[in-house]
A and B are shown apart, each in its own frame.
Chain A
Amino acid sequence: MRLRSLVAAAAVSALGISLAACGGSDSGDSSGGSSGGGDQTLTYWASNQGTSLDNDKEVLTPVLEKFTAETGVKVKLEVIGWNDLQTRIQTATTSGQGPDVVNIGNTWAASLQATEAFLPFDGAAMDAIGGKDKFVPTALATGGKEGTDPTSVPLYGLAYGLYYNKAMFAAAGLQPPKTWEEMVAAAQKLTDPAKKTWGMALAAGSYTENVHFAFINGAQNGADWFDKDGKPTFTTDGNVQGVLRYLDLMQKDKVANPSNAQYDNGTKSVNDFATKKVAMVINQNNADSSIVANGMKPGEYGVVPFPAPKDAAAPVASHVAGINLSIFKNTKNKDAALKFVKYMTDAPTQTTLGKPFASLPVLKDAKPVFTTDAAEAATFQDIYNTKSKPLPLVPAEDQYESTVGKAMNAMFAKIATGGTVTADEVKAALKTAEDQVAASS
């Protein structure tokens, strides 16, 4: 009998581990407020904007010290990598034990707003941070669902651009592309698998990057991913064709190395560009710091808007990308938190942080300072102000990102390993994603 009970005991504890591990059970009490003992200390979670977490810390520390000198409020800074940030916010939301102020990817704004854990910037709160008129309207629109008080305000603006290697283009007698067709033709001319050079690098294994391009290509076809009621409309023809067009860069046009299917973040494709293995890369403007850090000089590359096909319905070149700033509703230091948000979004701080973090200004009338290349700055500012469309501002946005993005990962993997993906298969994959979103809302 002893053996059986021993086996049973071992089994029960192993089972317990399995459930505890995947149940995501949170038994923390929700009574706690912000951490940090004194009433004049704010906890601030910053996202990774610089070249490393330490670099972020170095850049932010003097800025935060200046805030402390001005207001007497101390700031406890923690920089959190992108892989962990969402989970950390989730845990903070569930347990009520979070920071006072947090950076979020602006595409999460509507999803996070739905948790009701964040402070709405209503009339009074908005006035306290300097009024809504100081922000670029499209940037502020990413702060939450349309027609509601936003629960986040823009901090750093970002936009996609097509980076190209000037020397490679000149050597092949090419002009920077203005249409999708020109881009593909140029990329094909610059691709030579035997010499291990490719026209483009794609972060084809990164679901967050992939979903952005699904969105942008769909938007170029005039398609939307959600209808007015927030219901997913993933399988419309414009979206299917848009996704297929992007997949075809690797599948039909063969201008990207199949190995790109393993690139699970944008840094890897940017590095290929910076080390001159590829002639073009589509990335947000914060790629500048990585490109220069990897040895390319500012004058060696140019930027044009990510081109749409000749017969495109809309010349969308980017989504309104960027980082927003949110305050946890249960903060015990609401006034100090509002002061801090005002300080971070005021012109002097924006100018200080714009260069090291290579961000576009989110304030009206502000000039981009992230690059000394005037043409590049103007191009990005133009894309951000006139050629960008916000990602769907619906609570299910995060599910859209994960389901569609991961479906694209799988399709790229299939292409890279020798398979083909047809329009019908794209449609079926998007239908599955749509069902997943519908089932969990």
Chain B
Amino acid sequence: MASATVTEEAPVSPTASKPSGKRGLDRRPGLSRKLPYLLLAPAVLLELLIHIVPMLVGIWMSFVKLTRAFIANWAAAPSAGLNNYRVAVDFDGAVGQGLLKSFGVTIAFSLITLALAWGLGMAAAVALQPPFRGRSVVRTLFLVPYALPAYAGILTWNFMLQRDTGAVNHILVENLGLSTDRPFWLIGGNALVSLITVAVWKLWPFAFLTLMAGLQSIPRDIYEAAAVDGAGTVRQWRNITLPALRPVNLVLVLVLFLWTFSDFNTPYVLFGTAQPPAGDLITFHIYNASFLTWNFGSGAAMSVLLLIFLMIVTGAYLIITGRRSRRA
């Protein structure tokens, strides 16, 4: 859903962000006043059903003792008060400590993945900006990871990253001779590297697609004028491309961050039931904490904490970027 919103409306020109004011509608009360709300109603209703209701159920769950003893009759689960939260944030206890470690891993994973996916997307979008023969072929090729079903793609990586039979070690050890010992990729410390690689592979085409769309709205003659004035490629990118793409980047960076932070499929498919501590992303951690132990109240409490954290990050991001754009 988020992706559709972004791809359709991403290339908004900066002027559109000016407050549009209230004109016309105010003078005519009655139907025309209600019409927008009527038109919005179906969407709001669906939004409630699909997102808000499960969220509220999740919040309710976080305050009850929803263990295996009550899942068959979960309406009767007794209140747990704040106990689920207390356990989750007790960083001296085993559960809280696990959550904190997983949170750290996830932050590192998200920031690195975000930086690499955005960087690759930007580089590719700029490189493919000037027309050349076969450009559309290359563009299509770049979008393949995004078009592949996530499960199939990640599973292929899983095969490639096996220690004895994987293609990666075959190339590194046997073909290139970079190491005499075959490294492990899916257990131990390398697991985070593998996880980031796969996540970036999966995500960067989206950044590429969005930025490419954004680049279409920058008039070519600005670049020509800059070139006449002696601006090099780097200068052009910094002084023309980046500022013109600012509205696109605002959305893109936030969405990429939220997606990577709450990525579940990648660790789930890549590691299966044998996930290493270095690849213990928070959504996967919460899944294990609630599904494997049948303690859904505790899992829901962790989810709510995650939601609050992401809301704070998002809010702060919106305030900071909003203030800057008003100043600009």
Contact = CB atoms under 8 A, between A and B. Distances in A.
Whether chains A and B associate is yes
Contacts of B298: 439-440
Interface stretch (B4-12, B113-121, B194-202): B4-12
A78 B301 CA distance: 34
B258 A14 contact: yes
A402 interface: yes
Contacts of B53: 27
A7 B318 contact: yes
A228 interface: no
B172 to A, nearest CB: 16
Interface in B1-42: 1-2, 5-6, 9, 12, 16-20
A258 B162 CA distance: 13
B72 A20 contact: no
Interface stretch (B145-153, B212-220, B232-240, B288-296): B288-296
Contacts of B68: 111-112, 114-115, 395
A87 B189 CA distance: 29
B303 interface: yes
Interface residues of B, number: 84
A423 interface: no
Contacts of A30: 72-75
A275 B286 CA distance: 39
Q: Is the interface of B mostly helix, strand, loop or mixed?
A: helix
A87 B322 CA distance: 44
Interface string B162-184: 11100000000000000000101
B72 A117 contact: yes
B95 to A, nearest CB: 5
Contacts of B98: 432, 436
A111 B311 contact: no
Contacts of B241: none
A116 interface: yes
B288 A402 contact: yes
A262 B300 contact: no
Interface in B291-328: 291-296, 298-300, 303-304, 306-307, 310-311, 314, 318, 321-322, 325
A112 B72 CA distance: 10
Given A3-B17, A6-B251, A94-B74, A14 B188 contact: no
A11 interface: yes
Contacts of B54: 16, 19-20, 23, 25, 27
A259 B94 CA distance: 29
B20 A11 contact: no
A262 B52 CA distance: 40
Contacts of B69: 114-116, 395
B255 interface: yes
Q: Is the interface of A mostly helix, strand, loop or mixed?
A: helix
B5 A19 contact: no
A411 to B, nearest CB: 11
A9 B294 contact: no
Counting chain B CB atoms within 10 Å of each CB, which of A117, A262, A402 scores highest?
Answer: A262
A105 to B, nearest CB: 14
A415 B294 CA distance: 30
Interface stretch (B127-135, B136-144, B223-231, B270-278): B270-278
Given A24-B290, A115-B72, A205 B187 contact: yes
Interface string B254-281: 1100110110100000001110110000
Closest 5 CB pairs of A and B: A18-B262, A435-B94, A23-B58, A16-B51, A417-B188
Interface of B: 1-2, 5-6, 9, 12, 16-20, 50-55, 57-58, 61, 67-69, 71-75, 87, 93-95, 97-98, 162-164, 182, 184, 186-189, 247, 250-251, 254-255, 258-259, 261-262, 264, 272-274, 276-277, 283, 286-296, 298-300, 303-304, 306-307, 310-311, 314, 318, 321-322, 325
